[in-house]
Amino acid sequence: MTRKASVPPLSDEEEARIQAQIANDPDSPEITDEEARQPRPFAEALPELHAAWMRNRGRPRADVTKVAVKLRLDPDIVESHRAGGPGWQTRMNDLLREGMNSHPDRARQGKRR
């Protein structure tokens, strides 16, 4: 069985120093009794912080988004494209678009081979 390392209790001086730092922290002021009696919604109390929090994260949404589909393909076709490394799905999409543009009549008719 392992023993947890024991942490010695804080001395009075250490505790006083920590409490002084807490009291002087501009990012965490103590609320007054008046503020406690009249709570406000986060967005109203701290609008800048709320705006930053609500801002969308990640990449901006594309003008034309992709459509998720379930598509059954031959294994050798998929492996051939995957072997090209990252971006294989985009390259496969480009090849499909190339085929569609070079044979617009067949692409619209939905003919099976």
Q: What is the pLDDT, as a whole number, of residue 41?
A: 94
Torsion of CA 103, 108, 109, 112, to 10 degrees: 70
Calculate mean pLDDT across residues 66-86: 94
Among the listed residues 55, 32, 58, 34, the one whose alpha carbon sits nearest the alpha carbon of residue 43: 55
Distance of CA 21 to the CA centre of its chain: 34
pTM given for the model: 0.44
Average pLDDT, the chain: 88
